[in-house]
Amino acid sequence: MTTYFAFRASDELSRSSLTLMENFERGAKEPQNTLFVKVAQLFADEIVDTLLLNLVRSSGSGASNAQRLESFAGIIKSTVNGLIKQVLGKMSNDELSPLSGYIREHRRSFTLNGEACDYIAYETPADFHARFRAVLEKGARGERDNAELLSCMDQFHELSLSTFYDKSLSLVKLGFIGRKLAEVGGSAIRKGALSTSRHSVPNMTDEEYRRFSEYFLGMLITV
């Protein structure tokens, strides 16, 4: 059995990423950079939506907290999408090939509750998965443990950023300026993620805390 953090991909991302992978598998000669930029931007946007914007909607967060999260999400999207267009838009198929493998690795098909769907996913360490699940299950029952949840969220943010940001960029040959932009962007995202969770969790109402816990619990799966 393997433990994952996973959420369902949109139909558009499922279709376009499948087309992209099939093109690389058949050795397509036509340039794939335009399609790759589209897939990469969809991939990035859906990660941000899942980790931030959908969380606002599901938890019923207050206006000030929602505004903080939406502002942070907008900064991440503009930073990452700009970097994607600037870098990937100029690459050849050979240069993009390692990234097609990355997308294949994190675009998974799982059958849960009898339904087969495409997911964006990454493996989580079993010990962290168990610890995160335990505190989220408590929260879903209405039992608060702010300190433990914040500790888990810190580790969760680092796992997610390492997987979705650092790992993907490590496969791209960036020039000096591109690498600096990536480093600055990664640092800003990390600081923003930590600041956002540390501000949000202690200030949630009990009902918001319960919904927050249920939301993340639904994305911890074992297959």
pLDDT of 161 higher than 90 = no
pLDDT of 140 higher than 80 = yes
pLDDT of 73 higher than 60 = yes
pLDDT of 65: 59
pLDDT of 114: 82
- The neighbour count for residue 27, using CB atoms within 10 Å, is 7
Average pLDDT over every residue of 81-106: 87
**What average pLDDT does the structure give for the chain?**
85
pLDDT of 146: 95
pLDDT of 90 higher than 90 = no
Average pLDDT over every residue of 70-75: 75
Average pLDDT over every residue of 13-21: 91
Which region, left, alpha or beta, applies to residue 113 given φ > 0 means left and ψ of -120 to 50 means alpha? left
pLDDT of 170: 80
158's enclosing H/E stretch is helix 146-161
What would you measure as the largest C-alpha separation in the chain, in angstroms?
56
Choose between 176 and 125: higher pLDDT. 125
pLDDT of 193 higher than 70 = yes
CB 152 within 8 A of CB 131: yes
Chain segment 25-68, per-residue pLDDT in tens? 989 899 999 999 999 899 888 888 887 766 555 555 555 556 76
Please tell me the number of Cα atoms within 13 Å of 212 on its side-chain side: 29
Measure the CA–CA gap between 141 and 22, rounded to whole angstroms: 44
Residue whose structure tokens are 């300190």: 147
* Domain ranges for the chain: 3-222
What predicted TM-score, i.e. pTM, was given to this entire model? 0.82
Tokens of 24: 């690389």
